[in-house]
């Protein structure tokens, strides 16, 4: 039998620990993205006739609406622009043969909108709520230099944090009565990694993450499935990304993946390449400390410079 020195034994133990950690992570990924979605398929229609999606006339929200309609749910669309609401509702009714209801609401407005939404949905059995609406900066910027500072930040807090809280408050009681329901809250990967120059946006999404965690703990045992989805880049108006790539999928591809994870995981990026990307950034950050922050800051400053140049030209 080979004899190992104390140092060699330490090295072998260290290596075994690393290999064990890698193995556990690979198994977690395989369970989350391959085994879980086939084992834990959620029948959204059985949770309640209607699904309500906020910010549902574009991007990720519109794709959630279509995906839930494809699974047989009637759809309530809530957004600001009446034209887009009508067009999206017509498209969904025609393509998926389900009923739709539209509610015009601006989540950066005050209290009144929740009274209005409450009245509109009072008699509807809502089985799925997707708190998707969210706004970010128009370009990455230092906290004190955000354009139209007070208004921008107030809108962001109301749209990203208050909406999730108040919509959950409106719809959860009905779900609890029926002892079933699904709540999906759309956060952002920016709250999981260093996010300089997106400070307030990332902080609002950290709220969504923490809020979801608590709601999941409180109501999971009462039959409510709760999930926080924290995407990386997705092609949309908000991201400004038009062409899809491995790390920036179309909203359709993203939602197809994310919705398949409902019932398997309550906290997810929703999309395997995003999980890999965010893990890589956090590993660099953990290993190199300030260097990781410097890298992210430099990349955000580049985006800021480009955006400012574009805005100056316009």
**Looking at the annotation, which residues are catalytic?**
201
* Residue closer to ligand NAP, measured from CB, 157 or 176: 157
At its nearest, how many Å lie between ligand NAP and the CB of residue 17?
A: 33
* Residue closer to ligand NAP, measured from CB, 107 or 277: 107
At its nearest, how many Å lie between ligand NAP and the CB of residue 59?
A: 2
Going edge to edge, which strands form the sheet with 100-104? 100-104, 74-79, 50-54, 126-131, 181-186, 224-229, 267-268
Name the nearest CA neighbour of 142 among 195, 105, 183.
195
What tokens appear for 162 in the block?
């208050």
* Residue closer to ligand NAP, measured from CB, 40 or 303: 303
At its nearest, how many Å lie between ligand NAP and the CB of residue 63?
A: 8
* Residue closer to ligand NAP, measured from CB, 56 or 212: 56
- Given a contact cutoff of 8 angstroms between Cβ atoms, the answer to whether 125 and 77 are in contact is no
Name the nearest CA neighbour of 106 among 184, 54, 174, 48.
54
At its nearest, how many Å lie between ligand NAP and the CB of residue 204?
A: 8
Residues that bind ligand NAP (CB under 6 A): 55-61, 79-81, 84, 105-108, 132-136, 159, 186, 188, 231, 233-234, 236-239, 251
| Alpha-helical segments (H) within the chain | 6-30, 36-39, 59-70, 82-96, 112-121, 149-157, 163-178, 199-219, 251-260, 272-288, 290-313
């Amino acid at each position: 039998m080979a004899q190992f020195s104390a140092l060699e034994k330490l090295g072998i133990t260290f290596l075994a620990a690393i290999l064990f950690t890698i193995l556990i992570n690979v198994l977690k990924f395989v369970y989350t993205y391959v085994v879980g979605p086939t084992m834990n398929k959620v029948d959204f229609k059985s949770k309640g006739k209607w699904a309500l999606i906020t910010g549902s006339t574009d991007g990720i929200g519109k794709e959630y609406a279509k995906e839930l309609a494809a699974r047989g749910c009637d759809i309530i669309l809530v957004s600001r622009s009446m034209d887009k609401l009508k067009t999206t509702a017509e498209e969904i009714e025609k393509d998926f043969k389900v009923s739709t209801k539209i509610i015009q609401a601006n989540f950066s407005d005050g209290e009144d909108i929740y009274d209005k939404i409450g009245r509109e949905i009072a008699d509807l059995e809502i089985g799925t709520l997707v708190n998707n609406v969210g706004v970010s900066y128009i370009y990455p910027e230092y906290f004190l230099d955000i354009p139209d500072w007070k208004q921008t930040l107030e809108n962001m807090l109301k749209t990203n944090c208050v909406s999730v809280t108040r919509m959950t408050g409106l719809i959860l009681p009905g779900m609890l009565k029926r002892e079933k329901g699904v709540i999906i809250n759309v956060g952002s990967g920016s709250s999981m990694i260093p996010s300089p120059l997106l400070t307030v946006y990332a902080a609002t999404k950290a709220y969504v993450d923490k809020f979801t965690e608590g709601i999941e703990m409180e109501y999971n045992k009462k039959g409510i499935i709760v999930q926080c989805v924290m995407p990386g880049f997705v092609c949309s108006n908000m991201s400004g990304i038009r062409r899809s790539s491995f790390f920036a999928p179309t909203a359709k591809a993203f939602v197809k993946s994310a919705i398949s994870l409902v019932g398997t995981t309550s906290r997810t990026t929703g999309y395997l390449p995003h999980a890999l990307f965010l893990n890589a950034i956090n590993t660099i950050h953990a290993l190199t400390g300030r260097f990781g922050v410097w890298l992210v800051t430099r990349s955000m400053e580049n985006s800021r410079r480009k955006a400012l140049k574009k805005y100056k030209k316009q």
